[in-house]
Structure formats: structure tokens, C-alpha cells
Amino acid sequence: MTKQKRTVFYLSDRTGITAETLGHSLLTQFDGIEWETVNVPFLDDMDNAQAVLAQINHAAERDGHRPLVFSTLLKPEILEVIKQANCRIFDFFETFIRSIEEELHQPFARMAGRSHGLQHHLSYFKRIAAINYVMAHDDGVNPKHFTDADIILTGVSRSGKTPTCLYLGLQYGIAAANYPLTPDDMDVQQLPAVLEPVKHKLFGLTLTPAQLHFIRQERRPDSQYASLAQCQREIQWQEALFSRFDIPYLDTTRISIEEISAIILDRCGLKRQLYG
């Protein structure tokens, strides 16, 4: 079955992160459409607005369908130009701000960039500190500073520890370390000694042997490290270890990093340290 081709524009007078994130989240609920995405950040003057209007009209003529436009534009005159195009506009501020103004009995500030700018310096530096911590404590580095971690992810090689830690730091401001479980650890059948003092901060990541085999094959094709038998042994051992030492863990086989991170925060009682 041939997919319908449509164009979606994300327009903003700042970075466009909010428009793209919300719009993309909504469009994932609709199947059978091949989207061409056009991001237009920093749309803040009339000449550029006229150029985007022409671009939208061209897409409508080419596709045979009017494009969708997700907007967080704050300047009314810019938005009015875009409204002249052959498109369907979904303006997030227009949709939500009016009812919030009515409830709070005050007009909104009409200031661009507040979600992702540097107005909240403490939050910004907290994000940087969290990312620096993640990078300095990746793959078992600097274990003497594990006591400073909000959480320590553990699991066998290629189980998703590093990307999850980075996401936790970037999106939530969580100081996340990670420690790899190795075949040497399997031989002693014990929790690595360096993790004993911080056992209460541990959270395990696991996945199916077949998925681990697939991931490792991409890195080291046809090696012992990537063999299905080796993957089966390591997964069986680590899950037994998690159960033996009462370490909470999650099967990440069919879960995105975003979902993994949200589940970890919920199950471990961690609080988001920043927004945006």
C-alpha cells in the first residue's frame, strides 16, 4: 500500500523545539502517512514570513494536500502572514494561552524563548553539572565518586546504560553513573565490590539475548562477544544477580530511552531537576 505523502512545518520565533516536540508527538498517532518535515526556527521578520508562506503554498501544490503547520509564533503580524497560506495551522499558544489567561486573570508575557532560554540560570547550570557527571562516570570510571550519584545503572555490555544516563542528565538533570558487568564478574558470582557501598542506588538494565546478540553483531560481527550463546549466558547470569541482591531492573527490549528514563524516575522515586 502506497503511503500518503504530506508536509509538516514547525514554525517558531525561537528554537522551534516546543513546536516540533508537541507536533511530532501528535503525528505519531497517525499511520500510513510519509511526512516531509520542514523546521523554520527564528521566524521573526516579515520578509522571512513571506518566504515561508510561498514555501508552504509550493508544498501544497506539489503534494496535492495542504501542509500541516505547528506554530509557537508569538508575533501576531508574523502569524497573520502564515495564515494566508494554503495550510492547516495548529497554533499552540492560541490553543492554550487564552484559557490560561482567563483562569489566572492576567495576560501572558509574550516573551519568546522562555522554555529553552537562559532565564533560569540555576536550572541551566544544573543541567550542565548533570551532563558533566554522566560523562565523568561512564562505564565504571571514577567509582570513588559513585556516592554522589542520584542513580547508578548497571548491566552487561551494550544493554543501553550510557545513552540512558545521558538522557537522564540532559532531560532531567539527574546525576547518573553506570557500571558494566563483565564476564570476569560472572566468574565470581558476586556483586562487584565497588558497588557494594552504593547498592541502594543501583538499577539494572536487561534485554532479551536475541536483542543483545543483534546489537553486539553490529559492533563486533561474528565474535564470541556477540554470539547468541554468550549473550544468553550473560543475560541469565545478570538477571539472577539482580534477583539475588534485590536490585530493581527493567527489560528494555521494546522500550525507548525516553520511556526507560521515565520508568526509572518513577520506580526509584527520583524527581525531575529541570524542565525544557
pLDDT per residue as tens digits for the range 230-263: 999 999 999 999 999 999 999 999 999 999 999 9
For the cut 60, the answer to whether the pLDDT of residue 120 exceeds it is no
Q: How far apart are CA 71 and CA 20, in angstroms?
A: 9
Report helix angle 209-219 to 228-244, nearest 10: 130
Rounded to two decimals, the pTM is: 0.70
Per mean pLDDT, which range of 1-5, 64-68, 131-135, 239-243 is the poorest? 1-5
Average pLDDT, the chain: 91
Paired with 177 in beta bridges are 152
4-104: CATH number: 3.40.50
* Same CATH fold assignment for domains 4-104 and 118-268: yes
Q: What angle do CA 120, 267, 265 make, to 5 degrees?
A: 20
| 118-268: CATH class | alpha beta
DSSP 118: S
Paired with 37 in beta bridges are 8
| Cell numbers for 88 | 492547516
Q: What is the pLDDT of residues 188-224, one digit of tens each?
A: 888 999 999 999 999 999 999 999 999 999 999 999 9
For the cut 90, the answer to whether the pLDDT of residue 128 exceeds it is no
Instruction: Give the model's confidence band at 93: pLDDT under 50 very low, under 70 low, under 90 confident, else very high.
Output: confident
For the cut 80, the answer to whether the pLDDT of residue 123 exceeds it is no
Determine whether the annotation assigns residue 157 to a binding site.
yes
Determine whether the annotation assigns residue 162 to a binding site.
yes
Q: Which of 190, 196, 206 is nearest to 146 (CA)?
A: 196
Determine whether the annotation assigns residue 160 to a binding site.
yes
- Domain ranges for the chain: 4-104, 118-268
For the cut 90, the answer to whether the pLDDT of residue 104 exceeds it is no
The order of strands in the sheet holding 33-40 is 33-40, 4-11, 68-71, 88-91
Given the C-alpha cell 495551522, which residue does it identify? 89
